[in-house]
Amino acid sequence: MYEIDFNKPVHVFFVGIGGISMSGLAEILHQAGFRVSGSDWKSSAITKGLEAKGIQVFYGENAAHISDDIDCAVLTSAVKESNAEFTAIREKKIPYLSRAELLGQLMKNYKTSIAISGTHGKTTTTSMVSEILLKADTDPTLSIGGILKTIGGNIRVGKSDYFVTEACEYTNSFLSFFPTVGLILNVEEDHLDFFKDLADIRNSFRKFAELLPAEGCLIINADIPDYQEITNGLPCKVITYSTEHSADYTANTIAYNELGCASFTAVTPTGEAQLSLKVPGLHNVSNALAALALADYLAVDRTVTHDALFGFTGTDRRFEYKGTIGGVNIIDDYAHHPTEIAATLTAAKNYPHNTLWCVFQPHTYTRTKAFLDDFAKALSLADKVVLADIYAARETDTLGISSEDLQAKIQALGCDATYLPSFDEIENFLLENCIKGDLLITMGAGDVVKIGENLLGM
């Protein structure tokens, strides 16, 4: 594998530079003095931001973008063998790395490299941890899978030995990392276009845990069924947390305010801590416990941790308040897995509303088909569901599945579900049917956020 010498900046080209993680890595190298360029399918707020910083971005897929002066290329996992730029890179014998391999090499430069993994909650927990380390004046380098308002983006380049990143299991990318501290938030079935089954996924998380050095630490959710299969025999320190079972860190006396945000007592090995959150739901109590356990391991003052968690109001597209129109509050959420959907809609039950509307855009045919019944059950927690077409993302085979199949499953559970093929039709339907006092949540990992923004005239 090609090794980047971070003391000798060269020209690095990113294929797929507009992705949230790829753009962050590009910015880190740019700030380190590397010449950085890249390509993406179309212009976006992210690519425009990169261009404003002096990074050259090409649009479309074209072999001509690959110049002879490129020293190394970085590829997103979505790049296929047939990609014209990838073909040109191989023909010119330019060394190349995956996004995960570059991130792993970057982690080697930091004494404390923190990798936050799990099927759900990575971005929120990474953001909580980031807020704590910023509040503690540790000057960390941060790579987050969403926009954190405190830093005005998804990336921050610090000068200390602290590095924090999300660690995604898809295509086993997190197995290219070199963490000294690892978090595992949950392990469930997902990405079944890559993994064979849950056992295959659990095996990957075990391998991730094995990456930690003997002097390192793994923080793991004890609510994961048989979590000991992941931790048994590890040479590193293991810290557990739970909202349901016995663990090193647990939550007692959980109370919710009128917006569904929790205050609770964290019971820890060194005594109790009182925490209050400004993000809703029991799932965020769990995320906060993980962040507290990490902060304690890093010897962050408890007052700092409390203040940072209390000040955290979420990241973009995580139960994000978008605005109000005609007395209807509009929230947007990235949830695209049944567990995430259930957590978000359960949290929304505590938010002031008359009727709870959920506009859901399924994400990928593979996931929709694999979890069809689970999606229906989770979505039926809403009073009324409106379904958009499936967002294909990287997939081309429909597998014979559609949003109409999901609609039928939801209706069979006695929940009101409507399918409309276009965003325009959905927006008109909502304008005609939502009334003052209702709560409208747009939900999904695609571009469903546009529906709420269009209604608000954003």
Contact 376, 409 (CB under 8 A): yes
Active-site hit among 47, 76, 112, 123? 123
Active-site hit among 122, 135, 322, 384? 122
Binning the chain into helix, strand and coil, the percentages to the nearest 5 are 35, 25, 40
* Distance of alpha carbon 111 from alpha carbon 63, whole angstroms: 39
Q: What is the DSSP letter of 318?
A: S
Active-site hit among 27, 85, 131, 166? 166
Contact 20, 47 (CB under 8 A): no
Known catalytic residue at 395? no
Known catalytic residue at 123? yes
- Helix 338-348 vs helix 282-297: angle between axes, to the nearest 10 degrees? 110
- Give the start-end residues of each E strand in 245-355: 249-256, 261-268, 271-280, 320-325, 328-333
* Distance of alpha carbon 14 from alpha carbon 45, whole angstroms: 17
Contact 112, 212 (CB under 8 A): no
Question: Residue 115: CB partners within 8 Å, gap ≥ 6?
Answer: 107, 165, 166, 167, 174, 177, 179, 181, 182, 183, 208
3-state per-residue secondary structure call for 65-117: HCCCCCCEEEECCCCCCCCHHHHHHHHCCCCEEEHHHHHHHHHCCCCEEEEEE
Phi, psi dihedrals of residue 429, rounded to the nearest 5°: -60, -45
The residues assigned a catalytic role are 122-123, 166
